[in-house]
Amino acid sequence: MIKEKYYISDYCAIRDKKVFKNGDELYIDSESDNLKDFAKGVYKFLELKYPKFHKMDELCKLGFLASEVLFRDREKIDQDTALVLSNRSSSLDTDRKHQTSIMDREDFYPSPAVFVYTLPNIIMGEISIRNKMKSENAFFVTESFDADFMSKYSEILMNTGKASDVICGWVDLDNDKYDVFLAFLSKKGKKELTKEELNNLYNQ
Amino acid sequence: MAELTEELKEKLIEQLSLEDVEVSEIGDDDPLFGDGLGLDSIDALELIVLLEKDYGIKLKDPKEGKAIFESVGVMADYISKHRTK
């Protein structure tokens, strides 16, 4: 049996107040001094009109913005595009805010808008709703970006017909420190999908 | 009452992250859900928390919110009659 080849057709990274697409610098922010303002700047730069963005937590905003960059210039996203994401800190950043809001037993008011984001896989829900995707998705918590696992898992999804394409990557945030990398995997593209290539692009 | 409606509009924008909305753009009688401000079910829960936290009003039945959260004007009227703080 001939093994099907898959490719990395687009990739995006958000790091250190910069946004990159396919290795090129797309947006730099030298003014904002916090993630919230940086994310708002990217939102404006991308000329998005999606008020729900403002209600997302910061982790979700990062994943959402990366997906918007990744999908930019694409006419249509296949409904069967799977999402396979990972990070190290899960939703810890928002979990802390939630914990703070429920610490005082005399003044106990957990905010629904905060605790709805106390799961990292909400990112995938937001991306799916935005793009009308009805696909397989999984969020893994690992010590670091595992290109071997990500590429194998994605290949299995496409080989078994569970997904036409896959968006895989790393969306991590903890205390305003963030690292985001998404890759669009499909049957078309110039860079062949291998763990080495995926790792190289992540480390660019 | 006018002071309370202005206060409510500011709280709505702040707590519901309505970043693109100005206080002056929210009419007293504008519907908050549906075609109005476009609030969703999570926002409704936030409004229930806001009533209790800021005005000491605890809704016994969350379904009551449907009528109370019709507009800022209706909310202000309800708060002025039932507030405990």
In tens, the pLDDT along A111-159 reads: 999 999 999 999 999 999 999 999 999 999 999 999 999 999 999 999 9
Residue B82, pLDDT > 90, answer yes
* A113 with B16: Cβ contact below 8 A: yes
* B20 with A51: Cβ contact below 8 A: yes
Minimal-distance CA residue of chain B relative to A57: B17
- What was the ipTM of the complex prediction? 0.82
Residue B12, pLDDT > 60, answer yes
Closest CA to A139 of A120, A163, A116: A120
Q: Please tell me the pTM assigned to this model.
A: 0.92
For residue A38, the one-letter residue type is F
- Alpha carbons within 13 angstroms on the beta-carbon side of residue A75 total 0
Percent of the residues in chain A that have a pLDDT greater than 70, as a whole number: 99
Closest CA to A83 of A12, A199, A196, A183: A183
Backbone angles phi, psi at A179, to 5 degrees: -150, 115
Q: For residue A1, what pLDDT band results from cuts at 50, 70 and 90?
A: low
What is the average per-residue pLDDT within A152-171? Answer: 97
Minimal-distance CA residue of chain B relative to A44: B20
Least reliable range by pLDDT among A6-15, A53-62, A169-178, B63-72: B63-72
Closest CA to A114 of A55, A64, A62: A55
* B18 with A116: Cβ contact below 8 A: no
Minimal-distance CA residue of chain B relative to A54: B17
Which of A40, A54, A111 has the CB atom closest to B46's CB atom? Answer: A111
* A113 with B20: Cβ contact below 8 A: no
Q: What is the dihedral of CA B13, B16, B20, B25, to 10 degrees?
A: -40
Backbone angles phi, psi at A167, to 5 degrees: -105, 115
Percent of the residues in chain B that have a pLDDT greater than 90, as a whole number: 69
Which of A40, A54, A112 has the CB atom closest to B42's CB atom? Answer: A112
What integer best gives the mean pLDDT of chain A?
95
Q: Which residues of A touch B12 (CB under 8 A)?
A: none
Which of A97-101, A105-109, B7-11 has the highest average model confidence (pLDDT)? B7-11
Q: For residue B66, what pLDDT band results from cuts at 50, 70 and 90?
A: confident
Sequence-ordered alpha helix ranges (H) in A25-57: 35-45
**B58 min Cα distance to partner chain A (Å):** 12
Least reliable range by pLDDT among A45-49, A102-106, A123-127: A102-106
Q: Which residues of B touch A114 (CB under 8 A)?
A: none
